[in-house]
Amino acid sequence: MTEISREDVLHLARLSSLELSEDEISGLQNDIGNILGYVQQLGNLDTKGVEPTYQVTGLQNVWRDNDTVIDYGVTREQLLKRAPQSADNQVKVPKVL
């Protein structure tokens, strides 16, 4: 297993925008260490000169005409209605500054 400290877990939680509760931290610390330890076996594999694969379709540059407007089947009003809070045609959030 890979040593993952409590601080590492809290750092990953910050990167992931997760405000973890105290009772979850040690379990996640253990699990994440074990999982990273497991996937480290890839270190044994020689990948020198191998190109990475990011997608498998073989499709390239799927274009559409500039004057084609794709209907995604949803309106601004419908989306605003689904925001937890909205006002004046905008999504409402807590004060940032």
Report the residue number, 57 or 66, with the smaller CB distance to other proteins.
Answer: 57
49-88 binders of other proteins (CB under 8 A): 50-59, 62, 64, 70, 72-75, 78-79, 82-85
13 lies in the site for other proteins, by CB under 8 A: yes
| Number of Cβ within a 10 Å radius of residue 89 | 8
Q: Determine, following the binding rule CB under 8 A, whether residue 15 of this chain makes contact with other proteins.
A: yes
What stretches of 1-97 adopt beta strand conformation (E)?
86-87, 90-91
Closer residue to other proteins (CB): 21 or 89: 21
Please, what is the minimum distance in Å from the beta carbon of residue 45 to other proteins? Answer: 6
Amino acid 89 reads: N
Residues that bind other proteins (CB under 8 A): 9, 12-13, 15-21, 24, 27-28, 31-32, 34-36, 38-43, 45, 47, 50-59, 62, 64, 70, 72-75, 78-79, 82-85, 91, 93-96
